[in-house]
Amino acid sequence: MDYKQLISQLVYDNLEALDLTQEQIKYYLSTPPQPDLGDFALPCFKLSKVLKNSPINIADSLARKINQKPLPAELDKINAVNGYLNFYLNRPKFIKDVVDGYKNGAPKTDLGQGRVICIDYSSINIAKHFHMGHLSTTAIGGSLYRIFNYLGYKSIGINHLGDFGTQFGKLICAYKMWSSPQKLEKNGLNELHELYTRYHKKANTNPELDDIAREWSKKIEQNDPEAVQIYQKFKEITLENIGKIYQRLGISFDSYLGESFFADKVGPVVQKLEQKNLIQISDGAKVVNLDKYDMPPCLILRSDGASLYATRDLAAAIYRKDTYDFYKCLYVVAYQQNLHFRQLFKVLELMGYEWAKDLVHVSYGMVSLEDGAMSTRGGKMVKLIDVLDKAVEKIKNIIKEKNPNAKDIDQIAEAVGVGAVIFSSLCNSKIKDIVFTWDRALNFEGESGPYLQYTHARCCSVLKKSGADYNNFLLPQSLQDVKADFDIDDNTWTLIKHIDAFFDKIVLAAQDYEPSIIANAIMDIAKGYNKFYFDYKILDDDPKIQKARLLITLAVKNCLKTGMELLLLKPIEQM
Ligand code: ARG
pLDDT, tens digit, for every residue of 293-328? 999 999 999 998 989 999 999 999 999 999 999 999
Q: Where are the domains of the chain?
A: 3-89, 166-237, 449-566
Does the CB atom of residue 331 touch ligand 1 within 6 A? Answer: yes
Question: How confident is the model at residue 268, as a pLDDT?
Answer: 97
Question: How confident is the model at residue 372, as a pLDDT?
Answer: 65
Mean pLDDT, rounded, for 436-461: 94
Max CA separation in the chain (angstroms): 94
pLDDT band per the 50, 70, 90 thresholds, residue 474: low
Question: Quick one: DSSP state of residue 316?
Answer: H
Distance between CA atoms of residues 474 and 254, nearest Å: 39
Q: Report the chain's mean pLDDT, rounded to a whole number.
A: 92
> Does residue 483 register a pLDDT over 90?
no
Which atom of ligand 1 is nearest the CA belonging to 313?
10
pLDDT, tens digit, for every residue of 82-101? 999 999 998 888 888 888 88
> Does residue 485 register a pLDDT over 50?
no
pLDDT band per the 50, 70, 90 thresholds, residue 34: confident
Query: Domain 449-566: which CATH class?
Result: mainly alpha
Question: How confident is the model at residue 99, as a pLDDT?
Answer: 87
Question: How confident is the model at residue 540, as a pLDDT?
Answer: 85
Does the CB atom of residue 42 touch ligand 1 within 6 A? Answer: no
Expressed in angstroms and rounded, the spacing between residue 256 Cα and the centre of ligand 1 is: 12
pLDDT band per the 50, 70, 90 thresholds, residue 280: very high
Does the CB atom of residue 125 touch ligand 1 within 6 A? Answer: yes
Mean pLDDT, rounded, for 223-251: 95
Expressed in angstroms and rounded, the spacing between residue 171 Cα and the centre of ligand 1 is: 20
Expressed in angstroms and rounded, the spacing between residue 568 Cα and the centre of ligand 1 is: 22
Mean pLDDT, rounded, for 509-527: 98
pLDDT band per the 50, 70, 90 thresholds, residue 368: confident
SS3 79: strand
Expressed in angstroms and rounded, the spacing between residue 482 Cα and the centre of ligand 1 is: 57
**Per CATH, domain 3-89 is 3.40.50.720:** no
SS3 283: coil
Instruction: Judge contact between 391 and 442, C-beta under 8 A.
Output: yes
Share of residues in the chain with pLDDT > 90 (%): 78
Mean pLDDT, rounded, for 333-342: 97
The H or E element containing residue 65 is helix 55-67
> Does residue 484 register a pLDDT over 50?
no
Phi, psi of 87 (to 5 degrees): -115, 130
Instruction: Judge contact between 517 and 505, C-beta under 8 A.
Output: yes
Question: How confident is the model at residue 408, as a pLDDT?
Answer: 92
Instruction: Specify burial of residue 32 (Cβ count, 10 A radius: 0-12, 13-18, 19+).
Output: middle
Does the CB atom of residue 313 touch ligand 1 within 6 A? Answer: yes
Higher pLDDT among residues 146 and 486, named by residue = 146
pLDDT, tens digit, for every residue of 46-63? 999 888 999 999 999 999
Mean pLDDT, rounded, for 495-510: 95
> Does residue 479 register a pLDDT over 90?
no
DSSP code per residue over 430-489: TTS-EEE-HHHHH-TTSSSHHHHHHHHHHHHHHHHHTT--GGGPPPPS-SGGGTTT----
Closest CA to 145 of 251, 257, 258: 251
Distance between CA atoms of residues 243 and 213, nearest Å: 28
Mean pLDDT, rounded, for 555-569: 97
Share of residues in the chain with pLDDT > 70 (%): 95
Residue 247 is which amino acid?
Q
> Does residue 331 register a pLDDT over 90?
yes
Expressed in angstroms and rounded, the spacing between residue 259 Cα and the centre of ligand 1 is: 9
Does the CB atom of residue 123 touch ligand 1 within 6 A? Answer: yes
Distance between CA atoms of residues 459 and 228, nearest Å: 55
Question: How confident is the model at residue 36, as a pLDDT?
Answer: 86
Q: Does 3-89 match 449-566 in CATH topology?
A: no
User: Angle CA(568)–CA(569)–CA(570) in degrees, nearest 5?
Assistant: 120
Expressed in angstroms and rounded, the spacing between residue 340 Cα and the centre of ligand 1 is: 10
The H or E element containing residue 76 is strand 75-81
Q: 500 Cβ partners below 8 Å, 6+ apart?
A: 94, 98, 101
User: Angle CA(438)–CA(429)–CA(393) in degrees, nearest 5?
Assistant: 20
* pTM for this predicted structure: 0.93
Expressed in angstroms and rounded, the spacing between residue 240 Cα and the centre of ligand 1 is: 19
Question: How confident is the model at residue 377, as a pLDDT?
Answer: 45
Mean pLDDT, rounded, for 215-243: 93
CA-nearest residue for atom 1, ligand 1, is 162
Question: How confident is the model at residue 376, as a pLDDT?
Answer: 46
Which atom of ligand 1 is nearest the CA belonging to 333?
7
Which atom of ligand 1 is nearest the CA belonging to 161?
1
Mean pLDDT, rounded, for 142-150: 98
